[in-house]
Structure formats: C-alpha cells, structure tokens
Amino acid sequence: MARKLFGTDGVRGVAGDLLTADLAVSLGRAATLQAAAEHPRVLVIRDTRESGEMLEAALAAGAAGAGAEVLLGGVLPTPAAPLLVRRYGFDLAAVISASHNPYQDNGIKFFAADGFKLSDDTEAAIEARLDDPVAPPTDGIGRIRAFHGTQEDYLRALHTRFAALDLAGRSILLDCAHGATYQVAPEIFRRLGAHVDVIGDAPDGRNINDGVGSTHLDALAAAMRDGRHDVGFAFDGDGDRVLAVDRTGEIVDGDELIALAALHLRRAGRLGGGVAVTVMTNYGFHTAMREAGIEVAITSVGDRYVLEELRARGWALGGEQSGHVIDLGFCPSGDGVATALLTLEALADGDLAQRSAMDKLPQRLVNVKVADRDAAMASAELAAAIERENGELEGRGRVLVRASGTEQLVRVMVEAPSPDETDAVCDRLVDVVRQTAGV
C-alpha cells in the first residue's frame, strides 16, 4: 500500500482519525523491528493531550509485541527523550506529541540510540514494514513498565549545565501552554533562585496550546506589561520551542534568541564554529552575524535540516525563528527550557528590553489555509507573483512562499525596509494564494 506518513517531524494528524490506536501499534512494532538491537529497550514519553494515554498504550503494545522492553516515562518535554536515551542506553525513544498543534491532533516521533531523530531512510524503512505480516517474536514477547524518576533526571541535566547561573532577584513569568513543561520548567527556574509565576500550568487534556504558549503570546505579553516581571518565556506544547517577551511586552523571537546565544557562546569560547539557521531567518540576523565575524549556514525550514547541517559542519548552535533552538553542547534536540536559561545566561545582569544582538528588518508572516498545499504551490500564477515581488525588493528585502511541512497551509513571508511596504507586498501575495487555491 503506497503511503507517506512521516512528515518533517514524525507522524502527525488528528487522533483517532489519521493517528489511530491501530496505527500506533503498527508504528511501535515496525520501529522496534527496525532497531538494531536484538531485544530493544524503548522509552516512551508524551505531552498532556487526552489522546496521549491511548497512543502511549497502543505504541507500547506494538513495541512489546515485537519483543521490546518498553519503559513509560510519562509527561516530559521532547528534549528529555534524547537526554534519557543517552543517559540510560535506550535503543529507541518515542515521543507522543503534536507540538504546537491543538489538542485534537497528536503525533509520534522517534529518536535513535545516539539521541538524534531518525533519518529519512530509517523512517521510510519503518513505514515499509507497516504492512508486513505480523509474526510473534522468536524469543518471547517484551514487557511494559513505568519508568520512575524521569522528571528528576531531566531537571538534573538542566541544573548541571546551568549550575553557574544565579537567578536570585530575578522575577520570571512562564507560559507552559498547559503542555509538557508545566512541572519541570517552573521547578528548574526556582532551583536556580528565581521568583517564578506561571500561566498555562493546569492541563486538562484539551487546553494544550489553547490561547497560551509560544503560538499565542497575547496573554503573556499583557501580563508582562503589568511591570511585575523582568522577563517572560512561552513554551510550546512539547517544550522544544520557546519565545521570550521583555518587560515592555515586546516579543523576542527565535532569531534574536539565537543571535544572543551566538554572541554569548563565542565570547565564552563555546560556540564551536558558526550558526545554522533556516531560510525564514530575518535579514537582520545575517547582518549582525556578518558584522560579528560569525559564519552562517542556511537550511530548509525544519529543525531536522538545521540539525543535519550542524552535524555535517561540526557546529553546535542553530535554530529557527519559531523558537526552536538547538545547542548540541547540551542536547541533540531543540529545548525550550534550556534555551530560556541560555538566554538569561547570555544576558548576565542585563535587561532583555535593552538587547542589541541584532536589528530586525520589518517582517510579516501569514499562514493561508488551503485544501491542497502542494497544488497551491504548483500554481504558475503564484510563481510569477513571487518572482515579480522578489524583483521589486531585490537588494532591499525578500519574499519567501512555502508549503507547511505538517499542515495544509501556505506560508507567505515578506521582509521589506518599512512596515507599510512589508504589509502591502504580503497582502498582494496572500490574495494570489487564496485566488489560486480557491479559498
């Protein structure tokens, strides 16, 4: 049966529709059979969605049915998976989460024994096994057990890395998106001495990312304008991303967080080369890095492509405007909590509102819902409009129009010297996308 389940970040879709219990069983079985070990040890963690327990049970059953020893780590941020894989020598880890998507969605992504996400080839091999005849394992069925102490393991790793960071006297506001960071994020900031207030820390299975988190910053920004906190951080549902808000309520995106980190790590002698970012990264970032003498590599959108570039070049730091920041000096995955702490480490006694790592070119990003993202992108009319607008902005700004890797969206991004020109160009392109897509 021809199919393509794996996207840029695992298998993702509406729970109970695309992502059924049957599919989770099959994925657990196929991933276990694809693992190199004869009797794989498999870690499973999840976020707070109501479908997480069902998918956790199904995936674990599939893996155990193929002979794996499965350990259930409970609710944890995605970056805990590679850290635990490396600490305890797991052969495979599965994270059940749909990141910043609404609660109705869920997803399954895998990490290999080296702590890195599976390659495209390995994911294709797993997918090819889904329709294989089911045969009982020759050496017996595996077992499923609870794995206790995982939160403390993750907190210990963070505390060890940031042991020198003294947050005494700092007032921090965290938005945990009712997601996987709701317990660990406040705890590590308090352990490092900060006064911490939290929103989005009461998950009920359905409120994950609902008006809160890194994709819904209004509540955090409004709270920051009250003047009671020095800095705010908003995580996404699975905790691999973070955005910041300064004390004036201004949003600080991933580009600025990466710029702060790059300059800080270079001063500390820990940058380890240049920085890898995606095509979405603001022009101002490139200007700042050029002036600082830091090399920049550009990749396609998606943390897996940033990670591939870092590994190929032997560099440590990279990320995306969305707040997905990878520091291989700590973890082979984006880690929102670690990035927030790295930001405070970079600021030292400074104020985020007075940051000066880069000057951003005005940018606007619009996500246009379409029925078929690939068909919309194939439009000759859209291609002509993109070429025309890029020509008008040559040397002054840029246009980027791309299909989402996980949703039926066409993303239109424009950078221009002024906000008015940025808006005008973006509006014209959005209109073309909607007309060609029949929206």
- Enzyme catalytic residues: 99
Sheet containing 363-369: order of strands: 363-369, 409-415, 398-403
SS (H, E, C) 345-404: HHHCCCCHHHCCCCCCCCEEEEEEECCCHHHHHCCHHHHHHHHHHHHHHCCCCEEEEEEC
- List 96's β-bridge partners, or say none: 46, 108
- What would the two tokens of residue 83 be? 């850290």
- Give the C-alpha separation, 75 to 183, whole Å: 9
> What dihedral angle (degrees, nearest 10) is formed by the CA atoms of 60, 65, 71, 73?
0
Task: Please report the sign of the dihedral spanned by the C-alpha atoms of residue 267, residue 269, residue 273, residue 279.
Answer: negative
Please say whether the beta carbons of 94 and 53 come within 8 A: no
- What would the two tokens of residue 135 be? 């045969």
Identify the H or E element spanning 120. helix 120-129
User: In this structure, are strands 409-415 and 105-112 parallel, antiparallel, or unpaired?
Assistant: unpaired
Residue 14 C-alpha from the chain's centroid = 19
Please say whether the beta carbons of 212 and 188 come within 8 A: no
List all residues 6 or more positions away from 399 whose beta carbon is below 8 Å from its beta carbon: 386, 389, 390, 393, 412, 413, 414, 415, 425, 429
- Give the C-alpha separation, 229 to 232, whole Å: 7
- What would the two tokens of residue 297 be? 């590599």
- Give the C-alpha separation, 302 to 324, whole Å: 9
